[in-house]
Amino acid sequence: MKGIAHFASGVAAATFFPWTLAAAQEGNPLYFILGGAFGILPDTLDFKFYRFFYKHDIYIEPVPNETTPQDIADRIAAGVALAMDREKMVRIKLSTIRLGADYWQQYTVKFDAEKQQVMVKFGPVVNTGQVPVPGTEPEKGAVGRAALPCPLHITYDASSNVDIFDGPTFGFKKDNQNGMTFHFLPWHREWSHALTMGVFFSLLLLPFLGWRAALVIVAAYSAHVLEDQLGFMGSNLFFPFTKSRAQGVHIMRSGDSLPNFTTVWLSCLLMFWNMYRFQAAPLHAIGFFQIIFWGGILPVGFFWLVMKWLTRNSKTAGHETIDTSEWEESVSV
């Protein structure tokens, strides 16, 4: 999920504790701040700290107008072959291809588990907003293909776009089924996205901030981890007791607009409800279901229905997907 969704749910979780509201009424925003900060912290740890120190075995840094899709496919396949000889995970870093100040050459990497191969294809040039620059869409661009030396078990999306800023990391590790497990962004949602880390941080700050703050920290941090579990990638929930990410429940994708917005909005409604019921003498009489229905279900549902109707003919309506169906017809090189 997006940062703001985690942030808002962290604050919402904090408002369930009466001391959060009591302190805020007296001018102390500490618990509110802790809720938001620890709600977003797992991603902050990964994206602002850990990823810069994460070491890779292979760096694929394509040179603009020189490197071909086949070069990239070959190097990925070589990485998988390397992983066959190792017990540890082989980490491959794919760099983006920057063509100018605001231009990036997009390319897509697809793993075909059935045919046991990796395919790479260059897409359009995109700007930093990931919007294709008109006229740069390749009609039937070359597809690089390389055979993989073993069966591949895919735990995340089989296709990944590489375009702006930082490229993805792929991890390959031998599994118990005589094959290789593919891990997308192995540095993400590893130790940082564990329920146990929330407890760790709360214990760390307990002597300084007290048990009330510790409870807020656990609640906000756990909210983040559990929300992420609704997606595809999942998290390593009980690090260091568990070693790998538990599969997500595949309900939503992290970049989808509607689940993100719904989470933020629901969090705001819950905050409002908690603040409302904490009033000593409320001036207005409203109930929880009234707030949820009039403030949530009705407007969000109406918006969703109208959007559904307006985008009924759009192929990618709902969430972003990578369409690789036409690759089979493309010319191989």
Partner 1 sequence: MSAFFIVLASTLVGTVLSCVLACLPGLHVYNIMGLLVMFIYLLADYQIILPPEAYLPFMAGMIVGWSMLNTIPAVLLGAPDESAIFTVLPGQKYLMFGRGFEGTMITGVGGLAGLFILIFIIAPLAPILLPLLQSVLRPYMGAIIWVIITFILMSEWPKGGNTGPAGFAKFFDAWKSLAAGLLTFLLAGFMGFILLYRSPISTEMAFQNIMPAFVGLFAIPWCLLNILSAAEVPEQHIADSLDVDAATILRSAASGGLGGSFAAFFPVVTGGVGGLLAGHATAQRDERVFIMSQGVSKLIYYTGAFMFFFVPGLGLTRGGGAWIMKSLYTPQTSYDYLMILGAIAIAGGVSYLMMEPLTRGVIVLIRKFNYRYISLIALGIIMLLVFLVTSWVGLFIMLVGTGIGLLPVLFASRRLNCLGILLLPIACNMSGFGPTIAAWLHLV
Binding residue for partner 1, selected from 66, 129, 178, 289, defined by CB under 8 A: 129
**316 sits near partner 1 (criterion: CB under 8 A):** no
- Give the Cα separation of 126 and 133 in Å (integer): 5
Region binding partner 1 by CB under 8 A among candidate stretches 214-222, 225-233, 242-250, 302-310: 302-310
CB-nearer residue toward partner 1: 173 or 253: 253
Within residues 131-150, the interface with partner 1 by CB under 8 A covers 131
CA nearest to 225, candidates 37, 40, 47, 21: 40
3 state DSSP class of 287: coil
What's the min distance (Å) between Cβ of 331 and partner 1? 31
**11 sits near partner 1 (criterion: CB under 8 A):** yes
Residue 56 phi, psi (nearest 5): -115, 155
Region binding partner 1 by CB under 8 A among candidate stretches 5-13, 112-120, 209-217, 231-239: 5-13
Binding residue for partner 1, selected from 68, 127, 324, 330, defined by CB under 8 A: 127
Count of chain residues binding partner 1 (CB under 8 A)? 62
Binding residue for partner 1, selected from 19, 45, 56, 149, defined by CB under 8 A: 56
Number of residues assigned to the chain? 333
Within residues 24-43, the interface with partner 1 by CB under 8 A covers 24-25, 27-29, 32-33, 36-37, 40
Within residues 149-188, the interface with partner 1 by CB under 8 A covers 165-167
**275 sits near partner 1 (criterion: CB under 8 A):** yes
3 state DSSP class of 119: strand
- Give the Cα separation of 152 and 80 in Å (integer): 9
- Give the Cα separation of 15 and 225 in Å (integer): 18
- Give the Cα separation of 206 and 186 in Å (integer): 31
CB-nearer residue toward partner 1: 55 or 315: 55
For residue 165 the two structure tokens come to: 């800023």
DSSP string, 203-245: HHHHHHH-HHHHHHHHHHHHHHHHHHTTSSS-B-TTTTT--SP
Binding residue for partner 1, selected from 264, 266, 270, 327, defined by CB under 8 A: 264
What's the min distance (Å) between Cβ of 192 and partner 1? 15
- Give the Cα separation of 204 and 186 in Å (integer): 26
CA nearest to 322, candidates 105, 159, 170: 159
What's the min distance (Å) between Cβ of 238 and partner 1? 26
CA-CA-CA-CA torsion sign (238, 50, 96, 228)? positive
CA nearest to 6, candidates 37, 39, 35: 39
Asked if 216 contacts 199 with a C-beta cutoff of 8 angstroms, the reply is no
**55 sits near partner 1 (criterion: CB under 8 A):** yes
**52 sits near partner 1 (criterion: CB under 8 A):** yes
Asked if 74 contacts 144 with a C-beta cutoff of 8 angstroms, the reply is yes
Binding residue for partner 1, selected from 247, 279, 290, 316, defined by CB under 8 A: 279
What's the min distance (Å) between Cβ of 317 and partner 1? 9
CB-nearer residue toward partner 1: 111 or 248: 248
**Through-space distance between the first and last CA atoms of the chain, rounded to whole angstroms:** 38
Residues at the site binding partner 1, with contacts judged by CB under 8 A: 2-5, 7-8, 11, 21, 24-25, 27-29, 32-33, 36-37, 40, 44, 47-49, 52-56, 59, 61, 95-96, 101-102, 127-131, 165-167, 255-257, 260-261, 264-265, 272, 275-276, 279, 282-284, 286, 303, 306-307, 310-311, 314
